[in-house]
Amino acid sequence: MKFDFILNFIFPSRCLNCLKPLKEGVVCQECFNKIEINDALYCGKCHARLPNGKKICHLDQPYILGAASNYDNEIVKNLILALKFKYIKKAALPLSLVMLDYLNKLNLDIKDFIVIPIPLSKKRLRSRGFNQSEILAKIIADKLQLPIDTYSLRREKDTKPQSEILNLKDRISNLENAFKIIKSENIKDKNILLVDDVSTTGSTLFSAASLLKKSGAKKIIALTVAKA
């Protein structure tokens, strides 16, 4: 748009990591190339590597974690913070490319999966203006030609942001009854790619995945940009 062109002329874009001037996008190619892509699936609870994607620990976990990179990578961290807290929606594209590169690297057979993003509460959605997990999920579903369901899993409670809670028990308690399944028939016997931006303690993913399992979901891979 003409207004965007004028803004870019007055305030040229810069790489969110190194601040190098950019013609387009939010991260330069040099910084993007420094993002390390993981090559394994992980336990959702302890983040142990899972050989061949098979659970070898914490067998009661309702999901397997697919973390594309690591939160201690400054470039990944800066991009996630830009999307989630600075509301820079353009940061979603390089983050989704990291996730797609990861899935390609693992060579997973996910052709029969449906994509479901972790939902935001109505209040948080109004405040932020968008759901960052849904943006990532839509890009991934489109690129992989997978169906996406943004309806069946709903966030009922406006919980305190997990990033503001340090204690694991408090994080779990904060999410008690936070999610609701709208139509269990949309979930039953489905393999699910559950998309979120980052996994720290895994409390959010555990809460959502547990409910999806109770509704009849088969295999759940929680796909995140990073694990902390």
What residues have CB less than 8 Å from 125, skipping those under 6 apart? 131
- pLDDT average, residue stretch 42-56: 91
Residue 44 and residue 205 in contact, taking contact as beta carbons nearer than 8 Å: yes
Q: Closest Cα partner for 181 from 210, 159, 219, 146?
A: 210
Question: Which pLDDT value is given to residue 158?
Answer: 63
- pLDDT average, residue stretch 50-56: 88
Question: Which pLDDT value is given to residue 3?
Answer: 42
pLDDT above 90: residue 127: no
Residue 132 and residue 197 in contact, taking contact as beta carbons nearer than 8 Å: yes
Q: What is the pTM of this model?
A: 0.88
- pLDDT average, residue stretch 12-32: 92
Question: Which pLDDT value is given to residue 207?
Answer: 93
pLDDT above 90: residue 218: yes
Query: Domain limits of the chain?
Result: 1-34, 37-227
Question: Which pLDDT value is given to residue 175?
Answer: 65
Over the stretch 105-123, which tens digit does the pLDDT of each residue have?
999 999 999 999 999 988 8
Question: Which pLDDT value is given to residue 77?
Answer: 96
Over the stretch 170-192, which tens digit does the pLDDT of each residue have?
565 666 678 999 989 999 999 99
| 193 or 164, higher pLDDT | 193
CATH numeric code, 37-227: 3.40.50
